[in-house]
Structure 1
């Protein structure tokens, strides 16, 4: 498969350099390890840090900036960053109020962030972490024990980042992070595979008349491989599982997030969002906030994911709080 790269081994480093060149007013790169740091860090606030394998852009580096993350640690494509990356990034941005790690539930990420947390604690830096596991598609996968962390991560990083920006202490920031994780559910689907640059070929094969329901962001198998249906039918099959899992109830207010997997036109994502709103209205569930676009991707995979977060007045206020990052910005 054709890709716009120079050398396979340099893809991540050169991409990070491009991010800094494009958004130097918002982010800077760590001088000794791969890490995207907030340009004005450290600040006297809880430092919110996340990370994971590259290939999911703009997650996580694109969300570094005011009102969201203080640092992001990128690994190689679909590969966890190392504990040293996480440790050094945390030390570079922490401002004396402690560190919160937001970790997607993938085995390598969980293990390496825990090691970094232990090293930070040994240096006397207060640290907490929350593992995000919002995917309702499968209980276990090739990369996880338990549910995967997917689109809910974006919403959690925004809400928790706002609370930290407002000066809340570490324990409160952690509690709200856990609250969001308990109230968010996601599910994805794929029309095509993606190709990891080092492999140069699709991760899996789908027939022209097939789609994968419940796919993971690394191309992990989903619940079912099915014959193509209309967008409305696909949306209803995903949304029904999501709504029943929490369960969301009539009268609930939600943030509805329709996310593209990297290769899906925005026209189709808005079509999906329209079908999702129609479905939720039929359940008596009110969409109070929304997000539509490519925010947690899987390289060039065609497909989408749906995420619903149950809202209350606190979470709505934190979602609305100003944010200014390379990939998400409003109100500032």
Structure 2
């Protein structure tokens, strides 16, 4: 099982190499897709004769390069199948959700897919489990201060003092709106309700929640924000089964956070409970 993407999102992507998660990773320049050859090399590196699952985020460059790499691998008689994460609800309307980008929710795709593989699942089993959690995962970001691109020496976008960018992308893609800076309570309500409205739940659900820093936000502030998120979820009748709070998928030194909510089923709960030992994180 492999993934790949641009640098600058650490611990993603290389930090999720390890038992129970990824077997190989293709890495690109900062905020740039790895070339097709890098994805191909990762596929060859991971192949043990039973096929390779490529689980990656939905971006134009990654889509193009993965598909070229898959063709190269198939020419070498390596069976490859892929799943594309598209959890960013701000990046495209629900009617065309297949166009949405993959952001921090990709963690759950790797964790669930890796657990299925570790339990002896076939390539088709891994693909099915990964696709199931992708279908049930949604995220939103809020940016407070932009990140600095090392090659430029300055940010590639601007957030005015006293404002926040709601729905900002992990590479500085414009959000859905610029708002006056809000309190943690107001921010949590807007983020959580945006995701819940996109799910359109008809009843209370059991969920997993991730709050990831975008790079510069202290963990203490993430816990303050999470406390408010949990209140919103509880008021809506939802129960939090498991939380993930910290640096999971970042954006260099951007100040802000991403919220991810997973609509759990028994399979996802089982696979999230399986052990994993990624090199860049605590054990999961």
TM category (shorter chain) comes to: over 0.9
Work out the CA distance in 1 between the residues paired with 2:279 and 2:14: 8
Structure 1 partner of 2:250: 297
Work out the CA distance in 2 between the residues paired with 1:60 and 1:132: 14
Structure 1 partner of 2:48: 95
Give the CA deviation at 1:329: 3.5
Structure 1 partner of 2:192: 239
Structure 1 partner of 2:131: 178
Match runs of 1:131-142 below 5 Å: 131-139=84-92
Structure 2 partner of 1:109: 62
Q: Structure 2: any 5+ residue segments left out of the alignment?
A: none
Structure 1 partner of 2:208: 255
Match runs of 1:193-232 below 5 Å: 193-232=146-185
Is the contact made by 1:136 and 1:147 (CA closer than 8 Å) also made in structure 2?
yes
What TM-score comes out, normalization by structure 1 length? Answer: 0.82
Give the CA deviation at 1:145: 8.1
Give the CA deviation at 1:208: 1.4
Give the CA deviation at 1:171: 0.8
The DSSP-based 3-state class of the residue aligned with 1:315 is helix
User: Which gives a bigger RCO, structure 1 or 2 (Cα 8 Å, sep 6+)?
Assistant: 2
What TM-score comes out, normalization by structure 2 length? Answer: 0.96
Work out the CA distance in 2 between the residues paired with 1:231 and 1:203: 26
* Equivalent residue in structure 1 for 2:11, among 58, 71, 74: 58
Q: Structure 1: any 5+ residue segments left out of the alignment?
A: 1-47
The DSSP-based 3-state class of the residue aligned with 2:207 is strand
Equivalenced residue count is 281
The DSSP-based 3-state class of the residue aligned with 2:145 is coil
Work out the CA distance in 2 between the residues paired with 1:311 and 1:67: 19
Match runs of 1:42-53 below 5 Å: 48-53=1-6
In structure 2, relative to structure 1, the CA distance for the partners of 1:163 and 1:149 (3 Å cut) is: same
Work out the CA distance in 2 between the residues paired with 1:293 and 1:184: 18
Work out the CA distance in 2 between the residues paired with 1:169 and 1:125: 14
Is the contact made by 1:107 and 1:145 (CA closer than 8 Å) also made in structure 2?
no
Structure 2 partner of 1:72: 25
Work out the CA distance in 1 between the residues paired with 2:148 and 2:283: 33
